[in-house]
Amino acid sequence: MKLILLGPPGAGKGTQAKRIEEALNIVQLSTGDMLRDEVASGSETGKKAKDLMESGNLVPDDMIIGMISSRIDRDDCKNGFILDGFPRTGPQAKALDELFAEKGMTLRYVIEIVADDEAMVERITGRYTCDECGSGYHDKFQQPKVDGVCDKCGSTAFSRRADDNAETVRARLKAYHEQTEPISSYYSEKGILRKVDGMAGINDVTAEINDIVRS
Ligand code: AMP
């Protein structure tokens, strides 16, 4: 099964994608994670993407389309995949249609997680992850049981994303409304868009998504 998760930054696309990945045995493809790996490795792509990401702007379409095109050819995508953070612009959505047509693939659903901007700013600016195991925490909504110690692996090292500050979050939301939101109607016209309420609790959102992907 091939799915897209749409939604503003902080809506919970990554969290839900990981749950779908386990439930359906398909792979999560996050273009944001791919780009952060490129930045960390110091590659040419990473050097080009770094400043754009840190200012909350989108990286060029051709860079991302090339990355996704080669990624979906890999063996671990044979059973299906969830696109998290891609497509994010009209040209990316059209390029994805062309890639799917070339590769004989079918897009089953586009699931849009709908959420309020102000709540997203609060969610994103408070979030951080364990450096060892990647578990996610939040200053207000999900603190570790013992202050400064990861519940899952006991590590005391945590990080925040460079772009998870209030100013950059506002720029990312602006990019979302201007460039990404319009592609929701593109998929609605194709009859494959489903919306879920991203302001609900994490488990309720998962339940709604499960109902969609199992229908
Ligand atoms: P994310 O982890 O999805 O929030 O993405 C982090 C940042 O990576 C975004 O703010 C963009 O700068 C960049 N990025 C990720 N995916 C895309 C995409 N599909 N198109 C353009 N830029 C992207």
Question: For ligand 1, is residue 58 a contact (CB within 6 Å)?
Answer: yes
132/152 Cα distance (integer angstroms)? 10
For residue 119 the two structure tokens come to 């709540």
Q: Whose CA is nearest to atom 5 of ligand 1?
A: 32
42/120 Cα distance (integer angstroms)? 30
Q: Which atom of ligand 1 is nearest the CA belonging to 49? A: 12
Q: Which residues pair with 5 in a beta bridge?
A: 84, 111
pLDDT at residue 151, as a whole number: 97
Q: Whose CA is nearest to atom 11 of ligand 1?
A: 58
Question: For ligand 1, is residue 127 a contact (CB within 6 Å)?
Answer: no
- What distance in angstroms lies between residue 31's CA and the mean position of ligand 1's atoms? 6
With b meaning 16 or more CB within 10 Å and e meaning fewer, what string describes 44-58? Answer: ebbeebbeebeebbb
CB-based contacts of 184, cutoff 8 Å, min separation 6: 6, 110, 112, 193
0.85 surpassed by pTM = yes
Q: Whose CA is nearest to atom 22 of ligand 1?
A: 58
pLDDT at residue 171, as a whole number: 96
- What distance in angstroms lies between residue 131's CA and the mean position of ligand 1's atoms? 21
Cα distances from 91 to residues 65, 68, 86, 170, in angstroms, run: 9, 14, 11, 23
pLDDT at residue 215, as a whole number: 85
For residue 69 the two structure tokens come to 């095109």
- pLDDT tens sequence for the chain (215 residues): 999 999 999 999 999 999 999 999 999 999 999 999 999 999 999 999 999 999 999 999 999 999 999 999 999 999 999 999 999 999 999 999 999 999 999 999 999 999 999 999 999 999 999 999 999 999 999 999 999 999 999 999 999 999 999 999 999 999 999 999 999 999 999 999 999 999 999 999 999 999 999 98
Which of 16, 30, 34, 35 maximizes ligand 1 atoms within 8 Å of its Cβ, making it the mutation to test the pocket? 35
Q: Which atom of ligand 1 is nearest the CA belonging to 172? A: 10
